[in-house]
Amino acid sequence: MAGSSHRHQSSLEGVIDLYEAVPIFENVQQRTQAIRRFRRIITYFEDTKQQSTSSQLGDGYNRPALIRLTFEFARSPESQDMVLKAFFQSLALGMLDDNAGTDLSDDSEVASLRTLVFSFADHLIYHFFLPLRAATVKTPQPTPTYHVAVEQVQTQEEQQRMQDFTGTPERLGALRGLCLTRDRHRCVITRAFDHDELVKRLRQPLAKDDDGNVLNPERDDYSHLEVAHILPFSLTKVEGGGELSESKKAAIAILNMFDIGVIHLIEGVDIDRPRNAITLSHEMHMFFGNFEIFFERVADDDTANTYQIQAFRPFLATRLQFPVRRTLFSHPSIDPPLERLLRLHSAIGHILYLSGAGEYINVILRDMEDGVVREDGSTQLGALVNVALRNSGWTE
C-alpha cells in the first residue's frame, strides 16, 4: 500500500488550489448532500477501524478521523467546502451523487476506496502536518553579535545566499526586541521575567520590571525567554532560487484550504511580524511548538486579549497546573498576537491530538533524531521523510 499511497500523493498536488474564488456549491441543499456523502464514507472507515487489525487499515494514526477532523476544524464554511472538494476530487468521486462509486457492500470496491481515503490522509500528514510540526519548534533565536559581524563582512551576494537559508539575523533580532517590549520581558504564560534583562537591570541601584515593581531574584521567577512563532518562520522562506520549494507550495496550499486567505497574513517578511509571535520560556516554547498546549480566547471578554491556556494531555495539564487564564500584554505601537493565528494553531493541535497523528509524528521525528533502525523496517519511512525535509528547506 505504501507504493500506491506515494503515487497518489503526487497526483494530489493539483487538487488543492491556493484560492478558490468561485463558490463550490450553488445552494445549501447541494452542500448538505456533499457533507452527508462525506460523512457516510468517513464514518464507514472509522467504524471499520474499530473492528479490524491495524495491518488492514494502516498503522500509526486514525486516518479517517484525521480527514474528518480536518473538515470539522476548518476555519470557515468556505474552507470546509474546499476540504470537501479536495477530498472528493482525490477519490475521483462526484460530491452530489450519493450512490455512484460508493457501494460499501462490495469488498473490492471498499478496498480500492480505502486506499484512496488513506492516501488522502497521508498526503495531509506528509505534506502539511509533519513538516509543520517539525518546523514549528525551530524558531531561530537572534544570532550572537560576533556571528552577525562575521556574516556582514561577506559580499552582498554571499549574505543574500546565507539569508535565504538562515533568515535575516537583524529581522529576528528586531522581532525579539519588539516581543520582549510588548510582553514586558515576561513569558506570556508563566509570567517569568527574562533572565538576561534581569541581569542587566540588577546592575542599576534599584532594579524594576516594566510595570515599576522592584525585581527580587530570590523571590521572583525568571527564565531565558525566546521568541515563539505561532506559524513557523520557515513556512514562507524562499530558497536560493528565489522561489518556494514544491514541498512548501503544497503545505501552503493545504494551509490556505484550511483557512482561506490566511497566507496573506504571513507572506514574506510578514511571517516575522509581532502578530505571529509570542514571548515564551524555553519549556513553554517546546510545548507550544509541539502543539501540546493551546490558547483559547475567553468568550465573555470583549475588551481584553484574554485567553485560557490548556494542555491536551491530562498529565501535562496537572504538571503545568493548567488551565490558566492570561490577559496578553499590550503596547500602543506593537501589534498583539493575532487571535486568528492562535485559533489556527489550536485547531491544528486538536486534529493532531484527537486523531493520534501527533504521537505518530513524534515517533517519526524521534527516530530521525536518534537514528533508530527498527527490525520491522518501519524506520525507512522516517529516513525518507528526513531527507525530504532537509532537501526542501524545512529543517536546518
Phi, psi angle pair for 306, to nearest 5°: -105, 135
pLDDT tens profile 158-196: 444 434 434 466 788 899 999 999 999 999 999 999 999
- 3-class state of residue 357 by DSSP: helix
What's the CA angle centered on 104, arms 102 and 108, to 5 degrees? 90
Q: Is the pLDDT of residue 20 over 80?
A: no
**d(Cα 373, Cα 376) in Å, to the nearest integer?**
9
Question: 155 and 271 in contact (C-beta within 8 Å)?
Answer: no
Range scoring the smallest mean pLDDT among 168-182, 265-279, 360-374: 360-374
Phi, psi angle pair for 73, to nearest 5°: -95, 0
Here the cell at position 193 is 521575567
Give the sign of the dihedral formed by CA 317, CA 320, CA 321, CA 323. Answer: negative
Here the cell at position 198 is 534581569
**d(Cα 57, Cα 208) in Å, to the nearest integer?**
60
pLDDT tens profile 126-164: 889 988 888 775 566 654 443 344 444 444 454 444 344
Predicted confidence band at 250 (pLDDT cuts at 50, 70, 90)?
confident
**d(Cα 237, Cα 269) in Å, to the nearest integer?**
9
Question: 330 and 305 in contact (C-beta within 8 Å)?
Answer: yes
- Top pLDDT among 327 and 147 is at 327
Output the pLDDT for position 223.
96
pTM of the model: 0.83
Helix or strand (DSSP H, E) at 197: helix 195-201
DSSP 125: I
Here the cell at position 232 is 513557523
Could you tell me the CA-to-CA distances from 284 to 21, 96, 310 in Å, in that order? 39, 46, 12
Q: How many residues does the chain have?
A: 396
**d(Cα 46, Cα 64) in Å, to the nearest integer?**
6
pLDDT tens profile 2-15: 343 343 433 334 44
